[in-house]
Structure 1
C-alpha cells in the first residue's frame, strides 16, 4: 500500500474518530452520578419542665411523667425549616433521683403550625465536664421530618436532696432543652 492510499484510509476514518472523541468529552458529564442529598442537622434549644408521678426518690420504681416546654431558637432555619416550637411529652420508665431509663413520646408543634411526633428512649448520662443530662435518642414517626433521627438532651440542675430522701420524692424538675434533628432536605 502506498503512502497516498494509507493517507486516504486515515482521512476516511477521521469523521468516526472526531465523533467518538466528541462523545468521549461529553460523556463524563452525562455519566456523573446525581449528587446524593446531604443530611441537614437542625439544632433547637429552649427550656422544659417535667412532672413525675410518683416522685423520684432513691428507690428505683415505675414512674410516669409529663413534660412541657418551648424551643425558642432553631438553627439553621429558613424557607422549609422552622425557627421555634412548643414541646409536649409523656414518658414512663424505672427511675430514681440519680438515674434510670425511660421511653418518651414527644410532639413538637412548630411555629408555622406543622408538627413532628418523636419516639425516644434513654436515661441520665454524665457527659464531659461532670454535668448530668437526660439524653434520649430516637426517631420522628410522623409529621414534619418523618424518618429523621433525633437526640434530645435536657440538662439537669443539681437535684435538691431533701425531696429525693422522702417517700414522696421529687415531683418536678426543669432545665435547658436541646433537640437535634438529622434529616434529608
Structure 2
C-alpha cells in the first residue's frame, strides 16, 4: 500500500474518531446522567466554658469534664439551616495542662428547636501560626445533619496557668469555639 494513501485514509477517518470520542465524554448532566448533590459546610462560632474533675495539672491523668456554651453565628445561614444554638458537652480522657486525648459527646440545640448530637475525639494541637487548640473530629450520630462529619476547635489561652503547678489543677477554662459541619443536603 502506498504510504501517502494510508495517511490519507487516517485523516479521512479522523472526523469519525472525534465524534465517537466526544460522544463518550458526554456530560453527566445530560438527560441520562445524574449529578450528585454538593456537600454544604456550615461553620458556627461562639464561646464555651469547660469544667474538669479533677483539675488539669502537669500530670497526665484520667479526667472528666462538662462544657456549656453558645454558637452565636453560623454561616451559611438561611433556608433550612440554623443560625445559632446552645452547646452542652461531656468529655473524658487522659489529660493534663499540656495535652492528652479525649472523647466528647456534644448536643447542639439549634435556634429553631432542632438538635444534633456529635460524637468526637481529639486532643490539644499547635496549629500553623502558633497558639494552641483542642481539636476534635467525628460525626453527628443523631438529630439534624445525622451522618455529617464534624471538626470542633476550642482555642486555648496561653499556658502556663498558675493552677497547672498545683495538685488541684485548672478546673475551668473558657474561650472561643468553632464547629464545622460538612453534610449533604
Normalising by the smaller structure, the TM-score range is 0.7 to 0.9
What is the rounded CA distance, in whole Å, between the counterparts of 1:30 and 1:163 in structure 2?
66
**Counterpart position of 2:66:** 66
Q: How does 1:96-175 map to 2 (within 5 A)?
A: 96-175=96-175
**Counterpart position of 1:56:** 56
1:16-69 CA-to-partner distances (Å, cap 9, x unmatched) read xxxxxxxxxxxx9332x1210100000000000000000000011000000000
| Residue 30 in structure 1 maps to residue 31 in structure 2 | yes
What is the rounded CA distance, in whole Å, between the counterparts of 1:29 and 1:75 in structure 2?
32
State the TM-score, normalized to the length of structure 1.
0.83
Other structure's SS at 1:123 match: strand
Gaps of 5+ in 2: 1-28
What is the rounded CA distance, in whole Å, between the counterparts of 1:29 and 1:150 in structure 2?
34
**Counterpart position of 2:79:** 79
What is the rounded CA distance, in whole Å, between the counterparts of 1:58 and 1:84 in structure 2?
36
What is the rounded CA distance, in whole Å, between the counterparts of 2:159 and 2:103 in structure 1?
21
Other structure's SS at 2:130 match: coil
State the TM-score, normalized to the length of structure 2.
0.83
What is the rounded CA distance, in whole Å, between the counterparts of 1:85 and 1:162 in structure 2?
33
What is the rounded CA distance, in whole Å, between the counterparts of 2:171 and 2:30 in structure 1?
63
What is the rounded CA distance, in whole Å, between the counterparts of 2:101 and 2:107 in structure 1?
20
Q: How many residues of Structure 1 are paired with residues of Structure 2 in the alignment?
A: 157
